[in-house]
Structure 1
Amino acid sequence: MRWWDIEPVLELEKDLFPEDAWSRGMFWSDLAHARGPEATRRYLVAVDHGDRRDGEGGGAAGRIVGYAGLAAAGDLADVQTIAVARDHWGTGLGGRLLTELLRAATSFECAEVMLECRIDNIRAQKLYERFGFEAIGFRRGYYQPGNVDALVMRLTDPTTSVAGTQGTETHG
C-alpha cells in the first residue's frame, strides 16, 4: 500500500466498517512506519484488473478489492486490519492477504502473531482458525459503537501457516 492507495482504501473501509472505519490519519500514520530499514509495518492492497481479454472492467491501475496491515514489535506481530470487498467474498482473497501478512511477520522474525476479531464475525474466525490461530481471550466492548466484544486470537508460529498465493495481485 502506498499513499495514493489511501483514498480508495478509505472508500472500501467505510463500506465494510461504517461505524468504526479507520481515518485517513490512521492509515497515513501506519504507512509512515512501513518503509525503509527501520520499518515495523507491512501494508498491502489487492487489485482487480478486470477481464483484460475484453478490455472492460478495471483500468490500467485496477480497482482495490482488499487490503491488509500488520505491525511488528520485537518478536510479536499484530494483524491491524484485513478487508475484502463484498463482491470478492468467498474467492480466497482474505486467505491470500493473510498469507502475505504472515510472510511479513516471518521476515520481521516474529515468533507470534496476534489479532482481534469481532465476536460475531464467524466468517473471519474460520479463516484465522484455518491458518492455525487459536482463541485465547476476549476484549469486552472493544468495537465501538455498539459495545461489541472482540475475540483475541494468537498464532504461535507464523512460518507453519504460510501458503502459496495465486490469483489476485497484491502490492506492498
Structure 2
Amino acid sequence: MTTAGVVLDPLTPADAQRCAELEAMLFPGDDPWPAAAFLHELDAGHNYYLAARADGRLVGYAGVARLGNEAPFEYEVHTIGVDPVYQGHGIGRRLLDALLARADADAAEVFLEVRTDNVAAISLYESAGFVTIGLRKRYYQVSGADAYTMRRPRTREDT
C-alpha cells in the first residue's frame, strides 16, 4: 500500500460520524469520542483539524488546539487516529507533521498526552522531537491507563 493517493484536507462536520467510528475501533477501552465531540471541536475557533482521505474516504484524522490569546502560544495535540487498515504507511506522520507546521508558524511549544503502552505513538512523537516530561496516573478514566505528558519545544523564536 502507498500513501501517495492519500490527501490531507480540512476535517468537516460531515466527517464527524466516520471519526467516531474510527475512534470506537482505535480506542475501545478509553471512552472514544462520539460524533458530537468532533462537532464541538470543529466549532472552536482555536482548533485546527485535518482529515486524511484515500479515494475520498476518511482514513485518518488529527487535531490540535492553540492555547492562549496572544503570543507566545502553546499548542496541544488533541487526537490523531488512522484506520487500522492504513496504519504503518506514514499517514499518522503526515498528519502530525501538518499539525506541527501549524504550531511552528506561531513559534509555539506543543504538548500532548499518550498512553504509556502505546509504543508506536510514542516512537512517532519522539521522532518528531517530543520528550516525555511527566506521567499522569490513571489519565484515561475508563481503562485506568496512565499517560505520558510529552513536549516539543518551539522550533524558532518569534522575531
**TM-score grouping bracket, smaller chain normalisation:** 0.7 to 0.9
Percent of residue pairs identical: 43
Point out where structure 2 has 5 or more consecutive residues left out of the alignment: 1-10
Residue deviations 1:5-44, cap 9 Å, x none?
11111111111111210122221111002xxxxx311001
Q: TM-score, normalised by structure 2?
A: 0.84
- Residue 135 of structure 1 corresponds to 132
User: What's the CA shift string for 1:91-132, capped at 9, x where partnerless?
Assistant: 01110000010112123x152000000000011000000000
Count of residues paired in the alignment? 141
Q: Secondary structure at the match of 1:90?
A: coil
- Deviation per residue, 1:131-157 (Å, 9 max, x gap): 000000011000122210001100002
Match of 2:16 in 1: 6
Asked whether the equivalents of residues 3 and 31 of structure 1 are also in contact (C-alpha less than 8 Å), the reply is yes
Tell me the equivalent position of 1:162.
Answer: none
Question: Which stretch of the first structure deviates more once superposed, 118-127 or 24-33?
Answer: 24-33
Q: Aligned to 1:28, which of 32, 39, 42?
A: 39
Within 1, Cα distance between the matches of 2:144 and 2:91?
Answer: 29
1:73, distance to aligned residue in structure 2 (A): 1.1
- Structure 1 length normalisation: TM-score? 0.78
The 3 A distance-change label for structure 1 pair 71 and 110 is: farther
**Counterparts of 1:130 and 1:72 in 2: how far apart (Å)?**
22
Q: Which runs of 5+ in 1 are unaligned?
A: 34-38, 50-61, 160-172
CA RMSD, 1 decimal: 1.2
